[in-house]
Structure 1
Amino acid sequence: MQTTGDTGGAGGEGPRELALCVLCGLPAAGKSTFARALGHQLRQERGWAVGVLSYDDVLPDAPLDGACARPPPSRWKALRQELLKYLECFLMAVINRRPVSAPASRTEAMWEDYVTCLKAQDLVFPAELETQSCYLLTKTAISRPLILVLDDNFYYQSMRYEVYQLARKYSLGFCQLFLDCPLETCLQRNGQRPQALPHEIIHLMGKKIEKPNPKKNAWEHNSLTLQSPAFPLEASLQVIDLLLTALENPVKYVEDNMEQKDTDRIICSANILHKADQTFRKSVSQTMKEAKDEQILPNNLKLLAEELNKLKAEFLEDLKQGNKKYLCFQQTTDLSDVISSFCNEKNNIVQKYFSKQH
């Protein structure tokens, strides 16, 4: 193993072949098994350096859409952002041929798990006579084409776009692999796991997952959907071709302004939808608590919950379609208008049940 402490700078060995590959799909779709097999294949057959970063191995146990909120959703999002910062630290080290230094602000246990992941794949090792927060790149990491596979659900398009932005920032290759596994297969596999997710979580993600859409989003053009669990030879060749395309065609830092504006609009809409969903959930939860405090009859409580959840679903769908039903104008970026309209409709429903008690 050779250190890189005396190389410095980005010159010396020409431009790097470096790409980020987002691996996404439902829980128990077979992503981690696929990632390990892909990494082994690329190392053995292509001689590439591969880093598989499984979010499950690095992030603390996290909720999906607020379920079992430990940590709370806001903290979970912050941890994902922090992990991207760790990834950026490694990318900067590879590009500039310098040691990997830990960011000043970090979650210590998470950083250690992240570095352990890199060490296990022969990408870094501790610097002698240095603090534990500094690591040197291995010869493997700097002398071969390098593919970094990010293994997570990435069920919202905006999550994947953050990785694309990182690739664009450093002019790296970028591609996406989506494992399209039947919901029933995912549920069956999940049930066989020692720490299985609640089935309703997987059902919910199945409804919410936003598959790569190259026709709609130019930045997703380098994407491939694979039918899981099958992985035939033809699929293997397709994956290699996808990765080669990413390595040979890094994302340009400067892109067409109109395309970027369109993309930013899409991401903005996705974020508004997510915020609206969270706000509606809190509102429904608070209303149901108040209804219980008012001692609404159990049967009426059930009916109230059904009506409120139906209203929430209708509002979210209407928001996707451009607010044509409830707000009656083109899609707005003012979330307060949407929330105000939702609360008015909700209060009309609630009033019927509260009046039944008196």
Structure 2
Amino acid sequence: MRMSGARLGLCVLCGLPASGKSTLARGLRRRLPQHQGWACALLTYDELIPPEAFRAREPGAEPDPSLPHWKQSRRELLQCLERLLQALLTGDPLAAPGPTSQPAWERFLACCHRQGLLRSMEGGGHRYCAQTAGSGPLYIILDDNFYYQSMRYEVFQLARKYSLSYCQIFLESPLECCLQRNRLRSHPLPDQTIHLMASKIEMPDLKKNAWEQNSLILQSSDCTSENEQIIALLAAALENPVKQTEENTEQKEADRNICAASAVHQADQTCRRLVSQAMKEARDKNILPSELKSLAEELNKLKAEFLEDVRQGNSLKSQLSVQNQCSDPDTSGISVFQLEAANIVNKYIFK
């Protein structure tokens, strides 16, 4: 499927608006061919997604059951990118994705044309083949905010699907600096948009997400195309393309995280029920109000400690709770809590 040894890489630039991503992207596009011998293409989302995609629905307009326009535009852009990757890897003519709108496809083609990624096929008819300059690697840099991990993960999935290289560069910049730079732009974003994005942005989590291992988190002041850390990251990613066989491992990791969160929620609900039952049993035994208060404090302390163990996954209790792919807390770790709660209640009943 891969053309004569061609190596392709996807590099995601992420960070707040006006943090310096586009400046870095343009610098890399100049430097990589000159100093590394790598071809480099740039997909700037601000140029490929029209501004109207981000406009709010008019008051009184009919509800639209489809995806929000900006989400739909992002999806279409990824579909266009996938068709380009397929053409680069196979040598087949470039074909428009079925569900993609014609304007989105035409914007994408124009962007690729300007960067020398396409050549017209004989016979015309708006049929194109993908091409790269020379026989060296090609890096495609995606310049966007990518403030949610899920946005970056969609690009990673493309890299995994076609065994491409993948890396991320996250530019950190003080919020006030971004606001000041943004105000100097010819078409600035509203301050509130950047404030909102700053409150929601998700940095790469190298410890939690195996797929984000090839990431750099740099201060925007350090992010120049001459930064050796960046060049080293790009080179390392080229030497270690994402393997399709990693999918199962990664999916299991994601499933484990979901299971752990679910186990905490289930354990909390069940513990609340058991504490209520224990308190009712104590009241039925005519325990004094002052002792009922002490009993409630002990049971709530036990519940808090138990739930923290489940969250941290560092004790026998939590191992029992989340073992065997989300086993039921009522029949595993909860039994430990129930036993300890009963011991506490009995201490008050049999005084």
Change (3 A) 1:266 1:32: farther
Equivalent in the alignment of 1:57: 47
Equivalent in the alignment of 2:129: 136
Report deviation, 1:125.
2.5
Contact 1:86 1:103 in 2 (8 A): yes
Q: Is the aligned partner of 1:16 residue 2:16?
A: no
Change (3 A) 1:147 1:267: farther
- For 2:182 and 2:118, the matched residues in 1 are separated by 33
Q: Is the aligned partner of 1:111 residue 2:105?
A: yes
Equivalent in the alignment of 1:353: none
For these two proteins, the number of residue pairs brought into alignment is 260
Report deviation, 1:37.
0.5
Equivalent in the alignment of 2:118: 124
- For 2:216 and 2:228, the matched residues in 1 are separated by 12
Contact 1:158 1:267 in 2 (8 A): no
Contact 1:63 1:69 in 2 (8 A): no
3-state secondary structure, aligned to 1:130 = coil
Query: Structure 1, residues 41-77: CA drift from partner, whole Å, max 9, x if none?
Result: 001111211111001111111566xx64489962221
Equivalent in the alignment of 2:231: 240
Equivalent in the alignment of 2:209: 217
Q: Is the aligned partner of 1:250 residue 2:244?
A: no
**What letter is aligned with 1:163?**
V
Match of 2:21 among 13, 28, 31: 31
TM superposition score normalised by structure 1: 0.66
- For 1:189 and 1:106, the matched residues in 2 are separated by 34
Contact 2:171 2:223 in 1 (8 A): no
- For 2:211 and 2:106, the matched residues in 1 are separated by 32
Query: Structure 1, residues 70-95: CA drift from partner, whole Å, max 9, x if none?
Result: 89962221111111110000001111
Report deviation, 1:265.
6.4
Change (3 A) 1:266 1:202: farther
1:200-349 alignment runs, 5 A limit: 200-231=192-223, 236-255=227-246, 257-263=248-254
Report deviation, 1:97.
1.7
Q: Which runs of 5+ in 2 are unaligned?
A: 59-63, 262-310, 312-320, 322-351
Root-mean-square deviation (CA, aligned residues, Å) is 3.0
Change (3 A) 1:137 1:267: farther
Report deviation, 1:100.
1.4
Report deviation, 1:207.
0.8
- For 1:62 and 1:159, the matched residues in 2 are separated by 20
- For 1:161 and 1:265, the matched residues in 2 are separated by 17
- For 2:190 and 2:260, the matched residues in 1 are separated by 29
Equivalent in the alignment of 1:165: 157
Q: Give the greater-gyration-radius structure (CA).
A: 2
Match of 2:95 among 91, 97, 101: 101
Contact 1:17 1:248 in 2 (8 A): no
**What letter is aligned with 1:150?**
L
3-state secondary structure, aligned to 2:169 = strand
Larger mean CA deviation between 100-109 and 48-57 belongs to 100-109
Equivalent in the alignment of 2:178: 186
Report deviation, 1:157.
0.4
Report deviation, 1:115.
1.1
Equivalent in the alignment of 1:175: 167
Report deviation, 1:10.
4.0
Contact 1:42 1:50 in 2 (8 A): yes
**What letter is aligned with 1:202?**
I
3-state secondary structure, aligned to 2:160 = helix
Equivalent in the alignment of 2:349: none
Equivalent in the alignment of 1:83: 77
Query: Structure 1, residues 114-158: CA drift from partner, whole Å, max 9, x if none?
Result: 1111111111123242322x2122351x62201011111000000
TM superposition score normalised by structure 2: 0.67
- For 2:244 and 2:101, the matched residues in 1 are separated by 30
Match of 1:147 among 136, 139, 143: 139
Change (3 A) 1:69 1:83: same
